[in-house]
Homo-oligomer: A and B are copies of this chain.
């Protein structure tokens, strides 16, 4: 599982950078940036673990997640101009991170012998609730409630993941296929400005 652990840390750094950039847009100071970066990166998984009574929560038992966030905030300070130019690449990493967290969150919940529908929900929570908490803390209505269909893309991805399970494909394929799917949907959604219908 060393590979998954490494992916998790990389995902944490990427999400945390995105959080630190948001904090900077809102003119927050060093402390605020660290809090926002931390919550963006690790908030979703924390909520999932609390709901599942899964302890210790990843970052409580292992300080490397905290270090990953601190490094991300430091990088954001030092290389802000450069990172902002790479927004496209950042967006790509962000999407990979979201897909990864969605699939891993679902997998973890299924391992606790919990119903598929709830496991898929936990996957989506892992991927998107960090962003929801970040938005609430900085005082804006969570983006995810208004624009982008990326939560829906996440849901579609974890459905695919669950459907692939009985096929007993090689482990890495059951990860890569839904993550790729989430990425493609999200990229298309941004390109063609897709959105879901509301209640008229």
Q: Which 6 A-B pairs have the closest CB atoms?
A: A32-B145, A29-B196, A24-B199, A53-B55, A139-B141, A30-B196
Report if A198-B121 is in contact (Cβ < 8 Å); known contacts: A53-B56, A61-B114, A114-B61.
Answer: no
In the complex the two chains form, is A142's CB within 8 Å of B136's CB? no
A35 CB contacts on chain B under 8 angstroms: 145
Chain A stretch 132-183: residues in CB contact (< 8 A) with chain B: 132, 136-142, 144-146, 149, 151-152, 155
Report if A63-B118 is in contact (Cβ < 8 Å); known contacts: A139-B141, A145-B138.
Answer: yes
A139 CB contacts on chain B under 8 angstroms: 139-141
Secondary structure at chain A's binding surface: helix, strand, loop or mixed? helix
Task: Enumerate 22 A-B pairs (CB-CB under 8 Å) in ascending A order.
Answer: A23-B199, A29-B145, A29-B146, A29-B195, A29-B196, A29-B197, A30-B196, A30-B198, A31-B152, A32-B145, A32-B146, A50-B51, A51-B57, A51-B60, A63-B118, A66-B118, A76-B199, A136-B136, A137-B145, A138-B145, A139-B139, A139-B140
Chain A stretch 63-85: residues in CB contact (< 8 A) with chain B: 63, 66-67, 76-77, 80
A185: CB under 8 A from chain B?
no
Partner of A60, one of B36, B114, B146, B152: B114
In the complex the two chains form, is B33's CB within 8 Å of A199's CB? yes
A88: CB under 8 A from chain B?
no
Q: Mark A residues whose CB is within 8 Å of B.
A: 20-21, 23-24, 26-33, 35-36, 46, 50-53, 55-57, 59-63, 66-67, 76-77, 80, 114-115, 117-118, 121, 132, 136-142, 144-146, 149, 151-152, 155, 195-200
Q: A21-B199, A28-B146, A35-B145 are in contact. List 8 more A-B contacts (CB 8 A).
A: A29-B149, A31-B144, A31-B196, A32-B198, A33-B199, A52-B60, A66-B118, A138-B141
